[in-house]
Amino acid sequence: MGIWSWLTGEPSSSPAPQKIEPAIVTSTGGAQTKQGDIVGSLNSMAFPQPLLYAALGGYASNTGVPVTPFTALQSAAVYGCVKCMSEDIAGLPLQIRRRTPNDGWVIDKTHSLVELFRRPNRWMTSWQFWSYVLTAYCLRGNSYVVIQRDPTGAPVELVPVTPDRVTVKLSTVDGMPWYLVNARQIGIGVWVPPEDMIHMKNMSVDGYLGLSPIACAQDVVGLALAAQQHGAVLFRQGGQVAGALKHPGRIGKEAADNLAESWRDTHSGVQNAFKTVILEEGMSFEKLAITNEDAQFLQTRQFQVLDICRMYRVPPHKLAEYGRATFNNVEQQQQMYIDDCLGTCTAQLEGLMNDQLLFDDERALYETHFDYTGLLRGDTIRRYQSYQIGLSNGFLSRNEVRASENMNPIPDGDKYQITAQPGQAGVGAPKPPSVSAGGEDDGEGDE
């Protein structure tokens, strides 16, 4: 593999395209065949080749700071958002649920996908796999997973491929996207049909490729990086702003260079901060740059955290920004984080896995499901209060409560009982009607 191939992800030569056999989409062995040439690479703001951008100096924002998926991680806010989203979803239990005759759902622990989800491939755990998938999605706007199948068409391995090793092209026959993959785990110049690719994509303007949030908001990230660099340079120079030494007379170039070098050696750096300045021969010092107060340095850095949180729909409290958080609204913010941020990601993944990993005759009975119960756990008092509501109203059993608290089941603990009786002050008990003096209902409730 040459330098150009390493940077761009394209093969250095033009090998004869290989093609993965079309996915078997029914449990009876039927297959759908795709014919026709695959032409036309798609272009989008997805940073398809990050190594190439890095080699060329990055994609400069208006601040002059290069912004790529790699340099963006130097911003603590970007790093924090990506880490929160990827690790929180990676920690969710992924289940296979079976529909019951009464349109409910039960967890099926015997389905073949259970083992696949436990160990997606030979070198990654489930947590590592999903963390990488979401990291690529957050930074690049696209995440690709190739499905390896056995001769019966059942998925046996999920292979994530870095986005710079995948080129999306369209079929001239039906317009379906095909994926040209150049990765050692899959092969060089391998054509992957849409049935064998789980393609998670961000907001899209063409329906085929997702937009990278880093590329779309390069100035937002660039401003955060610029402010961060400004602070680093400020402390490296010992808190001294730029300025000019004014001499009443004329001095030569050599003397000016020596004077500037002496000034830097004496007063630059954190170790030299706050040293007393001694000026001779009538010289004076004049500041040429605005102060941090004038530039609103701290306010700028705080606002960039909020701006980057808007990009990813992550509540600021997840990044330890508690400026507007209180004990009363953090719980609501956590629910918003699950509904508006994580929920949209897992909903897309569930739909993709239902379509690509289940056979046609299974989709009416089974579905994949990310379980958010762990993230929704409150403190001990709130949990026990909610358990009491469920037990009293008969929609939770004692063994279900014990399972939620990682306790062993008890005998007769699977029964559902309603303990709140009408007329008693129990949760969910109906309010008795007001009765008049004659013993008849007057039709009006108590005030």
Q: Out of 73-82, 297-306, 310-319, 421-430, which region has the weakest mean confidence (pLDDT)? A: 421-430
Share of the chain above pLDDT 70, in %: 66
The pLDDT score that the predictor gives to residue 328 is 66
Residue 176 to residues 16, 35, 70, 95: CA-CA distances in angstroms? 21, 11, 31, 30
Q: Label residue 295 by pLDDT band (50, 70, 90).
A: low
- Mean of pLDDT over the chain: 76
Q: Label residue 42 by pLDDT band (50, 70, 90).
A: low
Tell me the whole-structure pTM to 2 decimals.
Answer: 0.71
Higher confidence at residue 18 or residue 237? 237
Q: Is 69 a residue whose pLDDT tops 60? A: yes
Higher confidence at residue 134 or residue 389? 134
The pLDDT score that the predictor gives to residue 126 is 96
Question: Once rounded to an integer, what is the mean pLDDT over residues 89-118?
Answer: 92
The pLDDT score that the predictor gives to residue 384 is 83
Higher confidence at residue 298 or residue 359? 359
Query: Domain residue spans in the chain?
Result: 3-215, 220-299, 378-430
The pLDDT score that the predictor gives to residue 160 is 96
The pLDDT score that the predictor gives to residue 195 is 93
Question: Once rounded to an integer, what is the mean pLDDT over residues 204-219?
Answer: 89
**Phi, psi of 141, rounded to the nearest 5 degrees:** 85, -5
Q: Is 291 a residue whose pLDDT tops 90? A: no
Higher confidence at residue 93 or residue 28? 93
The pLDDT score that the predictor gives to residue 90 is 96
**HSE, side-chain direction, 13 A CA sphere, residue 256:** 9
Higher confidence at residue 335 or residue 446? 335
Question: Once rounded to an integer, what is the mean pLDDT over residues 425-430?
Answer: 48
Q: Is 434 a residue whose pLDDT tops 70? A: no
In this predicted model, what pLDDT tens digit does every residue of 232-290 receive, in sequence order? 766 665 555 566 666 676 776 776 677 777 766 665 554 555 555 666 666 666 665 55
Q: Is 83 a residue whose pLDDT tops 90? A: yes
Cα–Cα dist 29/206, whole Å: 33
Question: Once rounded to an integer, what is the mean pLDDT over residues 93-99?
Answer: 94
Q: Is 117 a residue whose pLDDT tops 80? A: yes
The pLDDT score that the predictor gives to residue 145 is 97
In this predicted model, what pLDDT tens digit does every residue of 397-408 receive, in sequence order? 888 888 888 788
Highest mean pLDDT among 58-67, 116-125, 214-223: 116-125
Q: Label residue 437 by pLDDT band (50, 70, 90).
A: very low
Query: Long-range CB contacts (< 8 A, 24+ apart) of 302-307?
Result: 304/75, 304/77, 304/220, 304/223, 304/224, 304/227, 305/77, 305/224, 307/217, 307/220, 307/223, 307/224
The pLDDT score that the predictor gives to residue 12 is 46
Q: Out of 18-22, 105-109, 170-174, which region has the weakest mean confidence (pLDDT)? A: 18-22
In this predicted model, what pLDDT tens digit does every residue of 373-400 receive, in sequence order? 888 776 778 788 888 888 888 888 888 8
The pLDDT score that the predictor gives to residue 313 is 92
Q: Label residue 20 by pLDDT band (50, 70, 90).
A: very low
Contact of 66 with 58, CB cutoff 8 Å? yes
